[in-house]
Structure 1
């Protein structure tokens, strides 16, 4: 695993692992169910990923959208590939909705609905909240 994956709390935040990708709970939640989809490769450019990683990306994104659709009932979903601070290939996956959503005792509003996500207003989760959210999301993951 690369350093970017470690920065986002792996292995404690691991929701699902694939051959080329990991899906992690984003430790700071701008909206409920926000994730990090990170390539396991050491690549720092999207185009440098192996072809198999691109093929698997279709499977992974379908699973993410299924799980978050059931868990959060999002209206839209944003995949943000920022890679400014953390250099390895990864996306911030932000489910978007009007109002707020609740899961495992945690309620989070989409503070910027209708605009780009308010990443700076994200709610930092403590270790217990992270564990509850990871367990909750795993329950929605397709097999």
Structure 2
């Protein structure tokens, strides 16, 4: 089990308010800016800034946590595909942007969001910036399906 220390990338994505789920080596966070409804960040708890530098146990856990993410998203926002983007251009620690992809719009409470890039690359610049209240309600909904 990895210590509960939070690296700067995890903190930047709003932890602990955005926490949806976790394992020993990974946290799943609600992405505060939603290119598609249900967008997440899968972040390693490690201080590693290169994918190959993660400990072997983090790779071993990756299969199970990705399975949980995909099951949760299928139960909630019903994507047609799920994209995993490992960009690490601004935030240095190992993390993926997890984007549920779909034709048309998805709705949750007062939030309506189309996948503006469908069926091509995700339109990250067209993201819906969530309020604190929206983060709390959307995060709780996703967490309930974790």
1:48 matched residue in structure 2: 53
Structure 1: unaligned runs, 5 residues or longer? none
Partner of 1:91: 96
Q: What is residue 110 of structure 1 aligned with on the other side?
A: 115
2:66 corresponds in structure 1 to 61
Counterpart selection for 2:25 from 20, 29, 47 = 20
Q: Report the alpha carbon displacement of residue 140 of structure 1 after superposing the two structures with TM.
A: 1.3
Runs of 4+ in 1 over 6 A off after TM superposition: none
Give TM-score scaled by structure 1 length: 0.97
The separation in 2 between residues aligned to 1:43 and 1:125, in whole angstroms, is 28
1:104, distance to aligned residue in structure 2 (A): 3.0
Residue from 98, 114, 125 that aligns with 2:130? 125
- Equivalent pairs counted in the alignment come to 141
CA apart distance, 1:105? 2.8
In structure 2, the residue matched to 1:29 is 34
Structure 2 unaligned residues grouped into runs of 5+: 1-5
CA distance in 2, matches of 1:50, 1:114: 35
